[in-house]
Every structure is written in C-alpha cells, then in structure tokens.
Amino acid sequence: MTTWGVKEYAVSGRDSGPYAITTGPDGALWFTMVHSGQIGRLVPGQEPTSHQLAPDSGPTVISNGPDGALWFTEYRAHRIGRVTTAGRVTEFALPTARCGPFGIAAGPDDALWFTETAADRIGRLTTDGSVTEYPLPCTGAFPSAIAADGDAMWFTMNQANAIGRIGMDGHITVHELPTAAAAPVGVAVGPDGGVWFTEIAAGQIGHRAPDGRITEYPLPDRTARPHAVTTDADGTAWFTEWGGNRVASITSDGMVTAHDLPTPASEPHGITVGPDGALWTALETGALARIGPTTSITTRNTEQENAS
C-alpha cells in the first residue's frame, strides 16, 4: 500500500478564499482568490505572489489557454480574464448581462469555452476577444464546470441533473443522470475518453464510459459534498470533498482512497496535478494543500449502473 502525505502551504489570509487551481505553462501553481479578487501564483518552495483585480470581481475557475497565458472567469463581474505569466491582466466583457461565468477550459479549436450559470448558455471566446454564445436546450440548468475531450467539450448541468456535450459546431447533447437531484459540479475527461464528474448533492462520483454507459459510485461518506475533479496520467480521478475535508481518488473499478486534510473545515475546492506530479488543492482557509506519495484506507463501492 502506497503511503501518502499531506502538507499545507499558506498563500493568503483566511478571508481571501482560494478557490480554483491549475498548473501554468511556467511550472507554477496558479489559483483564484474569489473573495479578495486576486489571481495567485506559487512556485513550490518560494513565496507566493498575487495580481489584484477589482475586489468584487469574484475570480472563480482558472485554466491554461492555447496562447501560453492563464484564463479565468470573473463570476461576479460577468467577465473573462486573461493573465500572462509575467502578470499582465486583460479582461473581456461578455454580451449577455449578469450571465455568471463559472467553468472555463481551452478547447481543441484553440478557443476558450466557458459556462454561463445564470444565462443557460455555453460561451466560446477566441484569444482576440470574439465571443459566441450557445443556448442550452433547457432553462434553469445552471451549467457549471467544463472540460475538453477530442473534438468536443463536456460540461455539468447542476440544476438539470445532467451532463452535456457541445461540439465545435455548437451542437449540444444532454445526458440525464440516473440519480435524481444529484447536482453535478466538477467534470474531467480521462486519457481513455471517459468523463468523470462529481455529484455534490448525492455524495457520489459519476463516470460516463466512451460507450455511453454511466456508472455512479456512492462515496463512503455520502455527506462529503464532492466538488472538483481532475485525472492523472494513469487515468485515476482525484476529487475534493468540500464537506468531508478530504481529497480522494477513485479508479475505474470503483476503488476509493481518501486523504484527510490537517486543518479542520478547510473547504477544499479546485484540484490539479501539480508541476511536481503531486495533487494540489485550493483551500478556502487561505492555503494550498499538496497530496503526494510519502496510510490511507481503501474501500470498494457498490456500483449503480445505467446505460445512457
């Protein structure tokens, strides 16, 4: 059994609210601070730095762009932001007022794709600032996270109890989930093309295989409120347990391994594979946590399966 360790690194005050995190092209960890309106940067072993935005902008999800910069959503300001690795910030207004952009990811077409939670749309932004919006086929869906897969993007529909797929031509397909009111949030695509997603209200991790079969894995702690998810090079999915104060992994056969965080009620949100190959998560208490090999309890879940 592999032994893992968890270490926290303070990067801000407790009221700044580190939220999402990614590894940038410069080998640093980049993260949003939703409450203080900042974009942070941490090179492991060095002091953190930050770039100030408007205090009420609410930077939320951050992702690598196709142009060597970092792109992020400003949930409260209803904009998309761009920051270079040198710290230069540019912001782009969106056509739909008060649309609530949340998830963002680079697509296979070298554009940025993002969700509009309050407008029931998926947006596409080119690196020169041109925006196209695609309405969802339903209202009140609250599209949340988004991830790239080959020639399409996958996204969660938090209030529609579904995951969606949008092609580069804007065609949208909706896949309903087996469990009612599961409230999916995070989404990630594995190296095999399987789609992993978190069901925050159901306390489950979902997986859609390339053949369309959806499998749901109930977590040992059904009140854990799984939030963000990513995959490593081996195809293992890693996710944060916002309510359980843990980071956990799940394999394709339903094996869950959980790692407790040392600070109580630290509220882990975003998660990424770091430049050192370890898993890193952003904690609302003002820190980043590193989870890497250094004893943990493993359990196998009973599966709930449904073809979709």
Q: Which residues are catalytic?
A: 269
How many whole angstroms separate alpha carbon 246 and alpha carbon 198?
14
Nearest alpha-carbon partner for 57 in 36, 73, 70, 76:
76
CA within 13 Å, CB half, 89: 17
Residue ranges of the binding site = 227, 267, 284
Residue ranges of the binding site for substrate = 227
For every residue of 108-132, which 3-state class applies, written as one string? CCCCEEEEECCCCEEEEECCCCCEE
How many whole angstroms separate alpha carbon 68 and alpha carbon 216?
36
Residue ranges of the binding site for Mg(2+) = 267, 284
CA angle 166, 172, 178 (to 5 degrees): 100
